[in-house]
Amino acid sequence: MMHFENNLIQGVVVALVTPFNAEGQLDERAWEAIIDWHLSAGTHGLVVGGTTGESASLTRSERDRMLSMAVERCAGKIPVLAGTGSASTAQTIEDSQRAAELGADAVLVVTPYYNRPPQAGLLAHYRAVADASPAPVMLYNVPSRTACDLSAETSIALCQHDNILGIKEAFADLERIQSLVTARVLVLSGDDPTALDALRHGAQGVISVIANIVPGAMVQLFEFAQAGNYEQAEQLQRELKPLLDFLSIQTNPIPAKWLLAEMGMMNHAIRLPLVGLDAQHVAAGKTLLDRLQSQGLIEKPQQNQQATPTI
């Protein structure tokens, strides 16, 4: 079991969006710029091809290319996690083995969606993946998307496996977080609005959507929490609340990708069945960006440029 003293992954791990060009293809130039931005901002790790990255809409060759580029770009400076979970255990094993071949430091494996397996099925699923994967496994529980809840008891049992690192827990239940931490399970919050509370309760970090927009601010929030400086952490969280609210106005990653496009980091393209930000939210989004800029949380948005903002 991976204990706190020697864990591999902690801090602010960004659940990266996937940039597409105007033709709907992977924008490799923007992808490199985004990774470089996170390296310079001090982000502690990257998730490639997760939910925020529109994983369900990516081809296998796109996932492979993105992961290979991220591994090469990071060059061991920070860990790179590959999203490899699926509804099929056999497919998850195959994808996890492929990710390991491409250099992923760990694989992020969401609970099998649509099947709605019982807890016994989840135990068997994750143990089979962990047995077969050359890369360490991070459990991922997000019932709002999968219609399947990985219970704390099941997570604790699974984390006795030598090849299971811990869990990304996106179910915002602080009692559950506390029970996992008490059992010495490595917990990364998967819910930005409650991440600071999770850190208070012993979580070791957050796999974050908001870090796509304000990586430096999220790193600072984590550092405040690590130092027990909760007054400053809470103040920063209050400053970030309008952004948190905006990111939830439509399905993730629609708002996040719109903001990044307005900041000049990527094209506005998003892949069906998702669509772009509803026009009714555009004015509020522009006002939000101006506010974040004035607070020094992001630099002034640069339209239609794939520049690297300074945080």
Q: Which of 77, 113, 114, 168 is catalytic?
A: 168
Backbone angles phi, psi at 18, to 5 degrees: -110, 115
Q: In the annotation, is 126 catalytic?
A: no
In angstroms, the CA 198 to CA 76 distance is 28
122/206 Cα distance (integer angstroms):
23
Question: How far are the Cα atoms of 11, 18, 220 from residue 86, in angstroms, in the given order?
Answer: 26, 18, 33
Cα distance between residue 21 and residue 270, in whole Å: 9
Q: Is 168 a catalytic residue?
A: yes
For the record, the structure tokens of 204 come out as 């070791």
End-to-end CA distance of the chain: 36
Catalytic residue among 140, 230, 257, 300: 140
Cα 7 from chain centre: 18
**Residue 236: is it exposed, middle or buried by C-beta count within 10 angstroms (0-12/13-18/19+)?**
buried
| Residues annotated catalytic, as ranges | 140, 168
